[in-house]
Amino acid sequence: MTGGLAGEEQGPRVREYYTIAGPDYAAWSRGLHMHFGYWRRGMNPLRLEPMLAAMNDELLAALELAAGRSARVLDLGCGFGATARQLALGRPQLELLGVTIVPSQVGEAKRLAELAGLGERVRFVEADYTRLPLADGSIDGAYALESACHALGPDKPALVRELARVLRPGGRFVIADGFMKHARPLPGWLERVRASVCAGWAVPEFAELGAITRTMRACGLQVLEVRDISWRVAPSMLHVPRTVLRFLYAELRRTGGLRLGPVRWGNVVAPSLGLVLGLARRDFGYHLITGRRIG
């Protein structure tokens, strides 16, 4: 989960969440990857970091950027910049721009990029991904890794419109996130689980697949593939209980109590209940949506 949205209603909530709970993601990933992983055949499901890196590789593959050619790639909700750094280290011809509305994330992302020797090829700015400081058609590829969920609406219209604006004609995009599979009411118990997950992660609502893909087409984006990768993500999700218990134990030893406050407790509860939501396969799934700007 990574911060990218401002806006009068949602922005302060997202900024507060990542400012307070963001550092706790170090318990999840040594590299500060703030997302779930992607399991491939032959990978050891007990090793989390390689699966987190593999998810970033999936995003890069979906963008289909020609090897050896320069390209400008936009990270919509970059968090601490782990994905941008990985892509830049693996593809020296890429220029990465990460945006987030969380000042502390910008500062730490810049520091880590400098330590990695990435210079000016990777930049991070404090900006709202629904109001980007970029010219029309100035981006060759863009991705949103578990950040689109923070935008408002089941179709995330402000994010989709801005994505369509900044992509060059033919430029590709990929969104990786949890999605509702339909707009029908959920059973009462499952709606309570969904609402608790959203509250804990400062998510107004998960996008609904049909709604967001219709808005993409209306904004001049061609949807090339909608791929359910829930089973590929599941092995990394199984690391949640261990991570939560380890985090709570470390906090107990460090402070002598579990005085986390509501925001940090929400970040503990949300991934735990997310396991339950993920089992509702008819209603919810983790998907990759890949497409390109028409024109």
- Tokens standing for residue 73: 């790639």
Q: Which residues pair with 95 in a beta bridge?
A: 72
The per-residue pLDDT for range 184-219, each reduced to its tens digit, is 999 999 999 999 999 999 999 999 999 999 999 999
Residues 6 or more apart whose CB falls under 8 angstroms from that of 2 comprise 18, 34, 35, 77, 78, 79, 100, 105, 145, 146, 147
Helix axes 103-115, 82-90, angle to 10 degrees: 30
5: confidence class by pLDDT, cuts 50, 70, 90: low
Q: Which whole-number Å values give the CA distances from 198 to 14, 137, 203, in the listed order?
A: 11, 33, 5
Mean pLDDT, rounded, of the chain: 95
The radius of gyration computed from the CA coordinates of the chain, to the nearest angstrom, equals 18
Residue with tokens 């709604």: 211
Beta strands per DSSP E along the chain? 71-76, 94-100, 122-126, 139-145, 167-180, 207-208, 221-228, 284-293
**How confident is the model over 167-196, as a mean pLDDT?**
98
**In the predicted model, is pLDDT for residue 2 greater than 70?**
no
Its sign, for the CA torsion 107, 78, 8, 261, is: negative
The per-residue pLDDT for range 228-252, each reduced to its tens digit, is 999 999 999 999 999 999 999 999 9
How much is the pLDDT for 273?
A: 97
**In the predicted model, is pLDDT for residue 6 greater than 50?**
no
**In the predicted model, is pLDDT for residue 63 greater than 60?**
yes
8: confidence class by pLDDT, cuts 50, 70, 90: low
Specify the DSSP class assigned to residue 154.
T
Classify strands 139-145 and 71-76 as parallel, antiparallel or unpaired.
parallel
**How confident is the model over 76-86, as a mean pLDDT?**
97
The per-residue pLDDT for range 111-135, each reduced to its tens digit, is 999 999 998 899 999 999 999 999 9
Beta carbons of 181 and 206 less than 8 angstroms apart = no
Residues 6 or more apart whose CB falls under 8 angstroms from that of 133 comprise 125, 127
Whole-angstrom distance between the N-terminal and C-terminal Cα of the chain? 31
What are the residue ranges spanned by the domains of the chain?
A: 11-293
Q: Tell which CATH classification among 3.40.50.150, 3.90.180.10, 2.60.40.1220, 3.10.20.30 matches the domain 11-293.
A: 3.40.50.150
Specify the DSSP class assigned to residue 49.
H
**How confident is the model over 6-35, as a mean pLDDT?**
90
**How confident is the model over 67-85, as a mean pLDDT?**
95
**In the predicted model, is pLDDT for residue 7 greater than 70?**
no
**How confident is the model over 274-291, as a mean pLDDT?**
97
How much is the pLDDT for 4?
A: 54
- The Cα–Cα gap between 176 and 144 comes to 6
